[in-house]
Amino acid sequence: MKYSEFREKVSMKFSVDNDRFVIARLREVPKFSDKIFSIIRDKKEITVIAKEGFQLSAISEERFFKLISFDVTLPFDLTDFLSHIATLLANKNIPTLAISAFSTDHIFIKEKHLDSAIEVLKKDGMTIS
């Protein structure tokens, strides 16, 4: 299903987490905690997204990000959603890091771009919850 068809059927809402996040590259997988949003391990590296203040032994890290979550259940056959969001934000020079969960998507935005990102999403007809 194309995003344009899906959007006609549902109200698109998003939320912004109050916490600040750090995205770090690590040598070892840390013990999981409620302060960790995600651990991604691939063939080349371990990436951890954690709340500010969580002690990480980082090789390198980027600070500070805000989490925007899309408050709608996204079907597995949906196409164009993340590309639509990424294009909207890229057109305003706002870089994103997208993370997909089982039924919803999340994006991390540098804190300095948060107000602009919210404005872009609202202009696209989404509401903040």
User: Domain coordinates of the chain in residue numbers?
Assistant: 3-128
22: Cβ–Cβ under 8 A, 6 or more apart, which residues? 49, 50, 51, 52, 54, 56, 58, 61, 62, 63, 64, 65
Q: Per-residue confidence of the chain (129 residues) as pLDDT tens digits? A: 999 999 999 999 999 999 999 999 999 999 999 999 999 999 999 999 999 999 999 999 999 999 999 999 999 999 999 999 999 999 999 999 999 999 999 999 999 999 999 999 999 999 999
Classify residue 81 by its DSSP letter. Answer: H
Is there a contact between 58 and 26 (Cβ–Cβ < 8 Å)?
A: yes
CA distances from 29 to 52, 54, 78, 90 (A): 18, 14, 32, 31
To the question of pTM greater than 0.75 for the whole model, the response is yes
The CATH homologous superfamily of the domain defined by 3-128: VC0802-like (3.30.2130.10)
Q: Which residue type occupies 97?
A: L
